[in-house]
Amino acid sequence: MTPASRAAGAATRRRRLGSVGWHLAAVALLAVILYPVVWVVSASFKPSGSIVGSLELFPQDPTLGNYQRAAEGMAGISVLRFFWNSAVLAVLAVVGTVASSALAGYAFARLRFRGRTVLFVLMISTLLLPFHVLIVPQYAVFQKLGLVDTYVPLLAGKFLAAEAFFVFLMVQFMRGIPHELDESARIDGAGPWGIFWHVVLPLSRPAMVTTAIFTFIWTWNDFLAPLIYLSTPDKYPLPLALQLYIDQTTLSDYGALMAMSMLALLPVIGFFLFFQRLLVDGVATSGLKG
């Protein structure tokens, strides 16, 4: 063996040890962090009465009853219907939010026009007011338009960049894209739309993916807006159905609540796993070369 290959061998061994160490540390950290999640999972297999007040992690007498009850749906509405409603809302919300936030973000980040700062401040200020005081006036607007008990009030804001969180996210990412690329595109004859479509948007992929992921999850878990606007039970998304398990005036079914929460988690995990792959490096760095 040459000295070079011996050194290379040693380096590989060091790297592998470092790798093992890293994995060990990560798993240990995960164990602590995921403990409560494991608890929720295990609670979904515990009989309903023994969940609140129980101290042990694993169920004494595990049961599938919670899942059976959760799968039954309620009031004659199949649980699949709730999943479908949630899916429709979430997917539409993602499309609307990504599109409209990108447009608005580009305007704030790249374009110069009179009143930009004022409007930007206005946008940020929409984050500052607690939603509970906006509910009633907003409801009144949709009531006058005859749009209650539809999905329109739930989705209108998404398509109109009403989520300042994502507009601001886009702004921050877009401001990190070097202007040289814009200049080159402009020299090649591109106008604002061209720069947007060919330069800024492709490089904002991490921001768009992040927006998509968050929008999906938050819409999936959104409880308040569907509660206020939807009356017909077969339009209910999952969170509305879920809360029926914890009615305090009758018998609360914590077991079914946990089981249903678990089931509701699966599409979210799927969506996340699929989209977070797009966060992989490669595009971002290559685009900034040359």
Partner 1 sequence: MAILKRFTRSLAIAAALSLVATGTVACGDDTESGEVALRYSWWGNADRADLMQQAIDLFEEQNPGITVTPSFQEYEAYWQKLTTETAGGNMPDVLQMDFSYLREYADRGVLGGLDEHVGTDLVLDDLLAGFDGAGAVDGTLYAVPVGGNTWSMFYNPALFEQAGVPAPAIGWTWEDYHTAMATIKAETGTYGGGNYTGVIYNLEAQLRQEGGALFTEDGRLGFSKERLARFWQQGMDLIEQDVVLPVETAVQIKPASLWVDDLAASDLSWDNFLTRYAGETDTEIRLGPVPSNNPGQLGQYLKPAMLLSTSAGTEHPEAAARLISFMINDPEVGRIFGGNRGLPATNAQRDAAELDGPLAAVAAYEETIADQLTQAPPAPPRGAGSIEAAFIRISEELHYGRIGVAEAVDQLFAEAEEILEP
Partner 2 sequence: MTSSTVDSARPAAADRRRPARPPSGRRNGDPVAGYLFLSPWIVGMLLLTVGPMAASLYLSFTDYNLFTTPGWVGLDNYRRLFDDDRWLQSVRVTAGYVLLAVPLKLAAALAVAMLLNQRRRGQGFYRAAFYGPSLIGASVSVAIVWKALFSDDAVVDRLLSSVGLDSGGWVGNPDFSLLMLVLLAAWQFGAPMVIFLAGLKQVPAELYEAAEVDGAGRARRFWSVTLPMISPVLFFNLLLETINSFQIFTSAYVIGGRNGSPAGSTLFYTVYLYDRGFTDFRMGYASAMAWMLLLGVGLVTAMLFRTARGWVHYSGDDR
Instruction: Please report, as residue ranges, which positions from 217 to 276 form the binding site for partner 2 (by CB under 8 A).
Output: 217, 221, 223, 239, 242-243, 246, 254, 257-258, 261, 265, 268-269, 272-273, 276
Distances (CA, A) of 84 to 8, 112, 249: 55, 42, 29
Which listed range, 21-29, 71-79, 80-88, 226-234, lies at the site for partner 2 (CB under 8 A)? 21-29
Which listed range, 4-12, 67-75, 76-84, 110-118, lies at the site for partner 2 (CB under 8 A)? 110-118
Contacts with partner 1 by CB under 8 A: the residue count is 51
Smallest separation, CB 227 to partner 1 (Å): 5
H helices present in the chain, as ranges: 3-43, 65-71, 79-110, 116-125, 131-144, 152-159, 164-174, 179-187, 192-195, 201-203, 205-221, 224-229, 238-242, 254-276, 283-287
C-beta closer to partner 1: residue 152 or 162:
152
Backbone angles phi, psi at 230, to 5 degrees: -100, 130
Question: Which partner from the list partner 1, partner 2, none does 126 bind, CB cut-off 5 to 8 Å by kind?
Answer: partner 2
Euclidean distance between CA atoms 175 and 179, whole angstroms: 9
Q: Which 110-149 positions form the footprint of partner 1 (CB under 8 A)?
A: 135-136, 139-140, 143, 146-149
Position 244, amino acid: L
**Which token pair is 123?**
């946008």
Smallest separation, CB 155 to partner 1 (Å): 6
Q: Are residues 250 and 48 in contact, defined by beta-carbon separation less than 8 angstroms?
A: no
Q: Are residues 200 and 184 in contact, defined by beta-carbon separation less than 8 angstroms?
A: no
Euclidean distance between CA atoms 87 and 65, whole angstroms: 26
Contacts with partner 2 by CB under 8 A: the residue count is 120
Could you say which of 83, 90, 97, 98 contacts partner 1 (CB under 8 A)? 98
Euclidean distance between CA atoms 43 and 49, whole angstroms: 11
- Three-class SS state of 113: coil
Q: Does residue 96 belong to the site contacting partner 1 (CB under 8 A)?
A: yes
C-beta closer to partner 2: residue 1 or 52:
52
Which listed range, 8-16, 25-33, 74-82, 178-186, lies at the site for partner 1 (CB under 8 A)? 74-82
- Binding positions for partner 1, rule: CB under 8 A: 48-49, 52-53, 74-76, 88, 91-92, 95-96, 98-99, 135-136, 139-140, 143, 146-152, 155, 159, 202, 205, 227-228, 231-233, 235, 240, 243-253, 256, 278, 283
